[in-house]
Amino acid sequence: MPFSDYRTALVTGASTGIGAVVVERLAARGLQVHAVARDAERLAELAEATGCQAHALDLTQTGALTDLVAGLEIDVLVNNAGVSRTGNILTADEFAVDEQIAVNLRAVLHLVRLVMPGMVARDLGHIVNISSIAGVYTFGGNTIYHATKSAVHTLSRQLRVDGFGKRIRVTEICPGRVETEIFGRILGDPEKARRELFDGYESLKPADIAGAIEFAIESPRHVNVGHIEILPTFQVPGGLEFERRVS
């Protein structure tokens, strides 16, 4: 569907990384972009550079989301915001569970609940959900993150059913390792994350994900690009471990 068919977009996790680049790309395509994140200072800089509308708020506050979209007609929704924590379910604390569910899943569900009915009424809209290979493959660690992203994966398929008969397109972007700040936040040390996860690796960049989103949106209006799995060439998904126990 040509970008000219759309007028507005809302992007979460917009202050840095994938979200910031997506805001830049969509604004350059002529959309009025509503950029949502918690970092007001970075959002202000992004607004100065792109002309987007900055909204500094916490996605876990459903009332704030409701107030934000009231009266807005959002044609393109990009659910990009996400958080993760190290460890599996055996080491997780209450905050790790609640935070990841609140940001990675609950906020996504509420935004779709708030925005999609307007798309259906206008017979026009595109929802883009950023999931992860962690949502479709199993490998060690980050169990709660895997669970939330798996839910986003299933939600993306279900939304196509919910919007049946309307010109509502839904795209799930399923990335491997992308060079963003999330890993520094997970490890609590951006330099350590860079040394251990990025130095010497040909990782994906935020622009690679933004390019995939552009491709899906600008596809002909009769084409729904439902799922894009995008990984670095040298990264393979999944994994198999077999513990041997000798009696």
The CATH number linked to 123 is: 3.40.50.720
pLDDT tens, residue by residue, 121-170? 999 999 999 999 999 998 888 899 999 999 999 999 999 999 999 999 99
Q: How many C-beta atoms surround the C-beta of residue 165 within 10 A?
A: 7
Average pLDDT over residues 172-196: 80
Question: Is residue 116 a contact partner of residue 159, using CB atoms and an 8 Å limit?
Answer: yes
pLDDT tens, residue by residue, 84-98? 888 899 999 999 999
Extended beta strands in 96-137, E state: 125-130
Whether 244 shows a pLDDT value over 70: the answer reads no
Whether 240 shows a pLDDT value over 90: the answer reads no
**Alpha carbons 202 and 131: distance in angstroms, whole number:** 21
> What is the distance, to the nearest Å, from the Cα of residue 99 to the centroid of all Cα atoms in its chain?
16
**Residues forming the active site:** 145
pLDDT range class, residue 193, cuts 50, 70, 90: confident
| Residue 202 confidence (pLDDT) | 84
Q: Is residue 208 part of a domain?
A: yes
Domain that holds residue 81: 3-230
Q: Is residue 211 part of a domain?
A: yes
Q: Is residue 196 part of a domain?
A: yes
Q: Is residue 165 part of a domain?
A: yes
Six token digits for residue 3? 């970008």
Q: Is residue 96 part of a domain?
A: yes
Q: Is residue 93 part of a domain?
A: yes
Q: Is residue 247 part of a domain?
A: no
Question: Is residue 124 a contact partner of residue 75, using CB atoms and an 8 Å limit?
Answer: yes
pLDDT range class, residue 1, cuts 50, 70, 90: low
Which is more confident, 231 or 2?
231
Q: Is residue 163 part of a domain?
A: yes
Domain count within the chain: 1
